[in-house]
Amino acid sequence: MGHRGGRRLDSLSLLQRQMVSLRFYADLPVITIAERLEIPEGTVKSRLHSTVAALRRRLQQKEVI
């Protein structure tokens, strides 16, 4: 994500950063993330979806993407 993307991640909660890092940087499957964070798989899926959507909107507003 580069430097600009890293600053966008700073605006996320700790749990959101953990999920994004485990999913997209460590390339772990959702079930593994759920197990590691001790939260339901559905929670990981829904929070990843909403987090990625929010990041996408922010980046589009800043005309980064």
Query: What confidence tens digit (pLDDT) does each residue in 5-33 have?
Result: 456 677 889 999 999 999 999 999 999 99
pTM of this prediction exceeds 0.85: no
CB distance 47 to 34 below 8 Å = no
Packing angle, helices 2-10 and 41-61, rounded to 10: 120
Residue 20: count of CB within 10 angstroms of its CB: 20
